Chain A
């Protein structure tokens, strides 16, 4: 078994309104920053023991499917690195 960190990034699907990101963008502009757009995402760093990186990724993907993301509004991606 090897120690991995699986990083799950959950984003709103393209086209789904993100009011919090929009509010954050406006706040940055009020501070004088110039930006063309801003998107936010949730990132989960999951430490786990697995036989190999594929198994670690599979398990993280199942976590995303079953809880971390809502498939109606979210896309997600999984990246795995040895800890």
Chain B
């Protein structure tokens, strides 16, 4: 299993992602975006960071880099694609997933552990969990507020494409547990295929036992195992 972790100028979670995947026994390598995707690919990670300095909108520039056309083609062929944080912003900006991630309601950068409720446990990203399970994973973003118009949100829910919602420690989805003002407390969504997912929290920062208190994020990366 070879997973490409696509590195843009300003990506800074690419090494973390490779380490976390390697810890799970996954053959992962960083790929500089200008070099294109390697052949015989089994998965793609769009890592966190501040690609292109978040100019214009977070993820806007990287989403238009030539490699993203290849990422979209691979996604359509069924190659698993995961976007994390800035990678989630890149994924939504490039049309891989619905909605947009924009400025936190607080207008501040927020770096803190959050509780997430697993909305579906029958996807590659969540099969390590139970539906309704609460996991703790950190966020670190200034533009993580999930925005989507009302009709598209209804479609998203009807199609069961919400993967995670911000919740309290008991799994109740409340305004108080919503760190950034996201519509419906949405923290992660699926693309048109279940093999494509983006989320603002960092599963790779909650995988290595020697790094974080929580290893709850490991289950997301297990999609690549």
- Interface size, A (range): 10 to 19
Looking at the complex, which one of A17, A68, A72 makes contact with B149 (CB distance below 8 Å)? A72
A71 to chain B, nearest CB (A): 9
Which residues does chain A contribute within 8 Å of B1, judged by CB atoms? none
Which residues does chain A contribute within 8 Å of B105, judged by CB atoms? 17, 19
Asked whether B104 is an interface residue with its Cβ less than 8 Å from the other chain, the reply is: yes
Nearest A residue to B107 by beta-carbon distance? A19
Asked whether A22 is an interface residue with its Cβ less than 8 Å from the other chain, the reply is: yes
Find out whether the CB atom of A70 lies under 8 angstroms from the CB atom of B106. Answer: no
| Residue among A13, A66, A73 with max Cβ neighbours from chain B (10 Å) | A73
Asked whether B51 is an interface residue with its Cβ less than 8 Å from the other chain, the reply is: no
User: Interface on chain B toward A: helix, strand, loop, or mixed SS?
Assistant: loop
Q: How far is the CA of A68 from the CA of B139 in the complex (A)?
A: 27
Q: How far is the CA of A73 from the CA of B148 in the complex (A)?
A: 7
Which residues does chain B contribute within 8 Å of A19, judged by CB atoms? 103-107, 181
Find out whether the CB atom of B100 lies under 8 angstroms from the CB atom of A73. Answer: yes
Nearest B residue to A42 by beta-carbon distance? B56
Which residues does chain A contribute within 8 Å of B181, judged by CB atoms? 17, 19
Asked whether B23 is an interface residue with its Cβ less than 8 Å from the other chain, the reply is: no
Asked whether A23 is an interface residue with its Cβ less than 8 Å from the other chain, the reply is: yes
B182 to chain A, nearest CB (A): 11
Nearest A residue to B61 by beta-carbon distance? A67
B interface residues (Cβ-Cβ under 8 A, vs A): 56-57, 60, 64, 92-93, 98-100, 102-107, 145, 147-149, 152, 181
List, sorted by A's number, 23 A–B pairs whose CB atoms are closer than 8 Å.
A13-B149, A16-B102, A17-B105, A17-B181, A18-B103, A19-B105, A19-B106, A19-B107, A19-B181, A23-B107, A66-B64, A67-B56, A67-B60, A68-B56, A70-B57, A70-B93, A72-B92, A72-B100, A72-B147, A72-B148, A73-B100, A73-B102, A73-B147
